[in-house]
Structure 1
Amino acid sequence: MRRFAELLDRLSLTASRKAKLVLLRDYLRSTPDPDRGWALAALTGDLTFSAAKPAMIRKAAEARVDPVLFGWSYDYVGDLAETVALIWPSDPDHRPNREPSLGEVVDALQGAGRQEAPRLIEGWLNALEPKGRWALLKLVTGGLRVGVSARLARTATAMMRPDAVSAPPTPEGGEQAAVLPPVDVADIEEVWHGLSAPYGDLFAWLEGRGERPSAEASGRFRPVMLATALDEATDMPRLDPTDFVAEWKWDGVRVQAVREGGVTRLYSRTGDDISAAFPDVIQALAFEGAVDGELLVVRDGAVAPFGDLQQRLNRKTASARLMQDYPAAILAYDLLAEGEQDVRALPLTERLERLERLVAEHTGDRLALSPLLTHATWDDLAALRADPPVGAAAEGLMLKRRDSAYVAGRPKGPWFKWKRDPHVIDAVLMYAQRGHGKRSGFYSDYTFGVWTEEGALTPVGKAYFGFTDEELKQIDKFVRDHTTDRFGPVRAVRAERDFGLVLEIAFEGLQRSTRHKSGVAMRFPRVSRIRWDKPAREADTLETVLDLLDAIERGGGRVSAGEKA
C-alpha cells in the first residue's frame, strides 16, 4: 500500500497534466504485478467493493474518538478519508509486522462479505501510517479525487512502453535490442473492453513479453473522435466553409451505440458502459454495427432541453415511470462499423450515406438521423449559430470536413465545434460553503441570487469554479468578514440593496424547476467575473431571468429521421 499511497498523494498535490502523466508512467513501469494493475483499475473506475461503505467507516472512527470531535474535524477537513486517516488512534503495541500490499487488500475485500469487511478495514487502518490509511479509504470507497480521469490513466499506460527491450543473444554471442513501436492511447482504448483487471496481458504486450490483446471483442467501445474549438480570427480566413458539412451541436450526451454478435451496449464518450440506465434505448436498437451520436430526450419528434435528460443521468437503473416521462433516443451523426466492416477509414460523406441507409431501415423512434444544415458561406453558418430553430436543445454548430476519416483523439483540422456564446447575468452572493480536498480551508461554493419585485433576493444557482486561486482568496475573505449567520458548514453572507458582492455568472442554459424557489435552474453556471465595481442594487432581477427563459423556450424545434434542414 505504501507505493500506492505515495502515488495518490503526489497526484493530489500535482496540478500539471504532464507531471501527472510522468508520475503514473513511472509508477506503472516500476511497480510489479498485480499491484500496478489494481492501481490502474482503481484510477479508471473499474474497481469497486460492494462490502465497504462510507457509513461503516465513519461508524468505526466514531467508536474510537469522540463523535462530536469527529464531526467538527470532518466539517473542517471536508473529506471523510482524510479525516479518518488523521484522527484514527495509533496503537504501536498492536501494529502488525508489515503493511499489506495493494494486491492483498484487493484480494481480501473482493472475497469479503458485509460482516467481514469492517474487521479487515479496521485491521489495516491499525497497520498503516496516516498517508496509507488515506489511500486505503480512498480505494475502498471509490472516491479517489486525485485529478486523474480514466483517459489520462490510459494515456499514461500507453507511455509506459520502453523504447527497447533486451532480445536473445545473437549467434556471435552479443546481445541485440528489439525496438518497440510507440503505443498511442487510442491503441489502449481499442483493446480496453476486452481486458480485465489486473491487466497482466496488457502489461505483457506493452513490455514486449506478449502479443497485443485482441481488439475484436463483440460490443466493444471504439475510441471517439473529438472536435477542436473554431477560432474565428484564425480559422475562418483560411477555411472554405463548403468543404465542411454542418450540423447542430446537440445539448445532450455523446454516446456510442454498439450491437454486434448478440451484444448490445451503450457507451459514454469516455467508454463507460451506461446500458443499464437506458434499457428502453438498448432494447429498441436493431442494427448491426456501431453508431456515434447524441443521447437526448425526444417526445413526438421534439428534442427536449438538457434538463429533461438530466433526470435520467447518473442512475444505475431506470424505472418504468422515468422511461415514460423522459423517453430517451439517439440522434446519430456518424457510423463506425457496419455489420462486421470497420468503416472509420472511409470519408465522412460515404459514412453518412451508409448511416442514412441504416437509420432509414431501422424501425421505432429510438434512433433518428441528425439533420445536416444547408449553408454556403460563413455568414450562413453564423446566422444559424446565433438563432438555431432548435433553441435550448442545441448549443451551437459542428463543422466536419467532408473527406475526413474517423480518427481517435482530437486531431487539429478535420472537425470543429462552434458553440454559442454563454448567457451572462449579474447576481449577488448570498451563501458560501467550504469546499473539499485542497479547498477545504476556503469558502469556495457560492449560492447567488437576483432581485424579486418585492426587493428581496431569491437564489437562482450555485457555482464553485471559474475563478483563479487569488480570486478565491479574495472571495473567501469577503465571506469571513461579512458573515451574518451560520448553518452548519454554510455561512450566510451580508447581501442588501446597498451592500453585497456582485458576481458575473455565465451559464449554458435555463430550465423551469419546481424544486427551486425562484422557479428556474441553471445549466453549468460558473463565475466569469467578480464585479467589485458594481453596487448590489444593480444586479439583475428575476423578471430578467424569466424573460430569458421564455426566449429560450420560444426557440423550440422538431427533428425526425432523415429530415434535412
Structure 2
Amino acid sequence: MKNFASLYTQLDQTTKTNAKVSALAQYFEQSNQEDQLWTVAILSHRRPKRTVNSTLLRTWAAEMADIPSWLFEESYHVVGDLSEAIALTLPRPQVENSHSLTYWIEYIMSLDKLEEAEKKERIFAAWQSMDYTERLVFNKLITGGFRIGVSQKLMVRALSQYTGIDENILAHRLMGNWTPTETSFKSLILTKDPLEDISKPYPFYLAYALENEPENLGAPAEWLAERKWDGIRGQLIVRKEELFVWSRGEELVTDKFPEYHPLAKLLPDGTVIDGEILPYKEGRPLTFNDLQTRIGRKNVTKSILKKAPVIMMAYDLLEWQGEDIRHYPFQERRRRLEQMVANHDTKGLLLLSETLDFHSWADLVVERENSREHHSEGLMLKRKDSPYQAGRKKGDWWKWKIDPLTIDAVMIYAQRGHGRRANLFTDFTFAVWDGDALVPFAKAYSGLTDKEFREITSWVRRNTRERFGPVHSVEPTFVFEIAFEGIRASSRHKSGVALRFPRISRWRKDKPLREANTLEDLKEMLSAL
C-alpha cells in the first residue's frame, strides 16, 4: 500500500502529463502483478464497491479522534473531502503495516457481509496501522470516491512504456467486461494471444469540440458531415451468431435493448458497428428524454418498448467479416457500411446515418442552425481519409454542436463546494419569476471564474437569511445567465420542468432583478422544442 499511496501523492502533486506517465511507469516497474492489476482496474473505473456508508465512517472517525460529531462535521465542511477530513482528524498510527494494495482491497471487500460492530472493529484496526497518506487512499477506496487526474489514456501510455506493447493493442485488451477478481495481469495485459472474447468491443474514437470557424479545417471536399445524434454512443457486435451491445461507458447493455436481438441472425458474422442507440418512432428520432425512460431500468416492459423503441443509427464499420478494418480510411469504411446496410434486411432496426450534401462551409452553417428540427445536437465533421483511432485525438473528427439554450435566472440558495473550493460558495440554486414569486428550477455549479466565486462567497456570508444545514438562503439580488442543452416536463420539480446539463454562462450584473425570465418563458421553450 505504501507504494500505491506514494504514487497517489506523486500524481496529485503534478499537472504535467509526462510526469504522471513517468510516475505510473515507475510504479508498474516496482509492483507485483496483483497490485499492477488492481491499479489498472482502479484507474479504468473498476473500483471495489462501497462496503461501509459514509455516515458510519464519519461517526467512527469522530469517536476514534475523541471529538464531538459537530466538530468533525464542521471540519469536514471546511476541508470539503470526507476521505481527507478523516485522515487529518485521526490520531497518529499505533502500529506499522507492510501490506500490499491487493491485501487492503480484499480487506475492504470482505467487510460487505459483516455486521456493523465487526465492520467498525476492522476499520479501526486499519486506521490504527496507517500513516496519513495510506489512510487517505484507504478512505477513498472504501467510499468509492477514488478519483485522481489520470485518464485511462495516460494509464495506457504508462503501461506501454513498462511492457513495450503498443498503446492501441493495450487499449483494446482493456475494453470489455473484465474484473480483477476473475483475471490476472498476465492474462489480461501480457498474453499475446489471449483466449478469444467474442464480446470484446473496440476502444471508442472520440471527437474534439470545434471551437473555431470551420474554414480553418481546410477544403470542404476533404470532409464528410453528418448529424450529431442525441442518443447513447454504442457498439453493436455480431460474432458467432451472438449479439453484444456496448455503451461508450464500457457497459454491456444488450439486455436493456431487446429490439436489437434479431440482428444476431440478420447481420453477417464478424461485424462491429459504431453508432447511436437512438429512440426512434414513426420515421423520426425521439428526444433524449424519451430514452431516459429506459436508462437504469432493470426490466424493460412492453409499454416502455412501445413508448420509446430504439434503433441503431450506424455511422461507422470497425470490423467486417471478422477483420479489424479500423486502419482503413473513413471513406472506405463508410462505403462498406453503406453496402452492408443496402444488402441486408435489418427490419428497420439498423439505419444509416446519412451524410449531408454540402459544397461550402456556409452550407453547413445552415444545416447546423437547423439541428434541433432533426432532434440532433449539431454536426459531426470527419476527415475522409482518417483511420478509426482510440480515445480522443485532435485533427480528424470534430463535433460542431449547436449553441445552448439560455435563460436569465435569480440566485436564491448557495452551498459550499468540495475539494480546493471547499471554502467557497460554488453550488447555487436558481429561480424564475411566477408572478411576484420566485420558483426554483435548476442547480448549477460551473461556469464562473475563481475571482467571481470569491466575490459571491463574500457576498453570501454577508447576506444569508437562513441556513438549512450546508445550504444558505440568500436575499434575491443577482441575475445569472443559465445555459442548458434541453428541457423537459417534470412532475418531480416544483417548476414543472427539468433542464439538461444546466451551467452558469455569465453573471448578468447589468440586469435588474425583475428582468429575469419567467416560468412562462420556460414553458414556452418546452412547447417549442
Task: Tell me which interval the TM-score lies in, with the shorter structure as reference length.
Answer: 0.7 to 0.9
1:519 maps to 2:493? no
Which amino acid is the alignment partner of residue 322 of structure 2? E
Residues 311 and 109 of structure 1, relative CA distance in 2, 3 Å threshold? same
Q: 420, 426, 439: which is aligned to 2:408?
A: 426
Per-residue deviation, residues 115-170 of structure 1 (Å, max 9, x unmatched)? 16554333211211233222112112321122333334333333445xxxxxxxxx
Residues 200 and 466 of structure 1, relative CA distance in 2, 3 Å threshold? same
Residues 254 and 279 of structure 1, relative CA distance in 2, 3 Å threshold? closer
1:265 maps to 2:210? no
Residues 214 and 80 of structure 1, relative CA distance in 2, 3 Å threshold? same
Q: 481, 497, 508: which is aligned to 2:485?
A: 508
- What aligned pairs does 1:111-510 form with structure 2 within 5 A after superposition? 113-115=112-114, 118-161=120-163, 183-184=166-167, 186-193=168-175, 197=180, 200-201=185-186, 205=190, 212=192, 214=194, 217-230=197-210, 232-233=212-213, 235-236=214-215, 239-261=218-240, 264-270=243-249, 272-275=250-253, 278-280=256-258, 283-286=261-264, 287=267, 288=269, 289-313=271-295, 315=296, 317-320=298-301, 325-359=307-341, 361-388=344-371, 390-391=373-374, 393-452=375-434, 454-495=435-476, 500-510=477-487
Contact 1:191 1:215 in 2 (8 A): no
Contact 1:191 1:214 in 2 (8 A): no
Contact 1:99 1:127 in 2 (8 A): no
Per-residue deviation, residues 489-538 of structure 1 (Å, max 9, x unmatched)? 1111210xxxx122222222222222222222222222222223332222
Residues 485 and 19 of structure 1, relative CA distance in 2, 3 Å threshold? farther
- What is the total number of aligned residue pairs between the two structures? 515
Which residue of the partner structure matches residue 107 of structure 1? 106
SS of residue in 1 equivalent to 2:365 = helix
Contact 1:507 1:523 in 2 (8 A): yes
How far residue 191 of structure 1 moved from its aligned partner, in angstroms, is 1.6
Per-residue deviation, residues 26-80 of structure 1 (Å, max 9, x unmatched)? 3333334322332221121223246444455346446645444444444444433
Residues 50 and 439 of structure 1, relative CA distance in 2, 3 Å threshold? closer
Which amino acid is the alignment partner of residue 224 of structure 1? F
Q: How many angstroms apart in 2 are the aligned matches of 1:281 and 1:149?
A: 34
Residues 48 and 366 of structure 1, relative CA distance in 2, 3 Å threshold? farther
How far residue 232 of structure 1 moved from its aligned partner, in angstroms, is 4.8
How far residue 301 of structure 1 moved from its aligned partner, in angstroms, is 3.5
* TM-score, L = length of structure 1: 0.81
How far residue 203 of structure 1 moved from its aligned partner, in angstroms, is 9.4
1:34 maps to 2:34? yes
Contact 2:294 2:300 in 1 (8 A): no
Per-residue deviation, residues 192-221 of structure 1 (Å, max 9, x unmatched)? 24776375327985xxxxx64549531212
Contact 1:45 1:142 in 2 (8 A): no
Q: How many angstroms apart in 1 are the aligned matches of 2:507 and 2:360?
A: 38
* TM-score, L = length of structure 2: 0.86
Residues 283 and 370 of structure 1, relative CA distance in 2, 3 Å threshold? same
How far residue 111 of structure 1 moved from its aligned partner, in angstroms, is 5.2
SS of residue in 2 equivalent to 1:296 = strand
Per-residue deviation, residues 306-359 of structure 1 (Å, max 9, x unmatched)? 23333444x373443655544343211111112312222333333233323444
SS of residue in 1 equivalent to 2:447 = coil
SS of residue in 1 equivalent to 2:443 = strand
Which residue of the partner structure matches residue 82 of structure 1? 84
Per-residue deviation, residues 76-118 of structure 1 (Å, max 9, x unmatched)? 444332333333455x6xx344243212112344556511655
More off after superposition, 281-290 vs 239-248: 281-290
Which amino acid is the alignment partner of residue 186 of structure 2? D
The RMSD of aligned alpha carbons is: 3.1
Q: Percent identity?
A: 37
SS of residue in 2 equivalent to 1:98 = coil
How far residue 430 of structure 1 moved from its aligned partner, in angstroms, is 1.3
Which amino acid is the alignment partner of residue 359 of structure 2? A
Q: 525, 528, 533: which is aligned to 2:510?
A: 533
Residues 388 and 203 of structure 1, relative CA distance in 2, 3 Å threshold? closer
Contact 1:42 1:142 in 2 (8 A): no
Contact 2:80 2:420 in 1 (8 A): no
Q: How many angstroms apart in 2 are the aligned matches of 1:325 and 1:130?
A: 53
How far residue 253 of structure 1 moved from its aligned partner, in angstroms, is 2.2
SS of residue in 2 equivalent to 1:136 = helix
SS of residue in 2 equivalent to 1:427 = strand
Which amino acid is the alignment partner of residue 105 of structure 2? V
Contact 1:276 1:317 in 2 (8 A): no
Which amino acid is the alignment partner of residue 238 of structure 2? R
Per-residue deviation, residues 279-330 of structure 1 (Å, max 9, x unmatched)? 42553442332110112222334322223333444x3734436555443432
More off after superposition, 280-289 vs 511-520: 280-289
Which residue of the partner structure matches residue 167 of structure 1? none
Q: How many angstroms apart in 1 are the aligned matches of 2:169 and 2:78?
A: 44
> What residue ranges of structure 1 are gaps of 5+ in the alignment?
162-179, 206-210, 554-565
> What residue ranges of structure 2 are gaps of 5+ in the alignment?
none
